[in-house]
Amino acid sequence: ELKVEQNPLFLSMQEGKNYTIYCNYSTTSDRLYWYRQDPGKSLESLFVLLSNGAVKQEGRLMASLDTKARLSTLHITAAVHDLSATYFCAVDITQGGSEKLVFGKGTKLTVNP
């Protein structure tokens, strides 16, 4: 059974600091997704990483994928309060001939002034 493990599950950080969220998964996959969810809202797509070594950056967030290590990271640079949200990684797998996303438990990020 595929396991997708995020850590930390809860992260409280100060504005201006840097931090990394880790996403480990237990099966072979070349595609990994990062989403953001604000309270009471749906999921917003942040990054789609499609191959080993992929790196994408948007503003203060940068995501990378190492398919050999089965590891993706979401790095936060100089955090600001607006980044407070829950971040999910999701691994794309093919099972029974169809593709699907399997989600981690999410990392609840709180950025304090």
Name which of residues 59 to 88 contact other proteins (CB under 8 A): 88
Write phi, then psi, for 13 (nearest 5 degrees): -140, 160
Indicate whether 98 belongs to the interface with other proteins (CB under 8 A).
yes
DSSP result, 16-43: T--EEEEEEESS--S-EEEEEE-TTS-E
Indicate whether 51 belongs to the interface with other proteins (CB under 8 A).
no
What's 77's DSSP letter? -
Indicate whether 48 belongs to the interface with other proteins (CB under 8 A).
yes
CB-nearer residue toward other proteins: 61 or 90 = 90
Pairing of strands 85-95, 98-103: antiparallel
Indicate whether 31 belongs to the interface with other proteins (CB under 8 A).
yes
CB-nearer residue toward other proteins: 15 or 30 = 30
Residues that bind other proteins (CB under 8 A): 31, 33, 35, 41-43, 45, 48, 50, 88, 90, 92, 96, 98-106
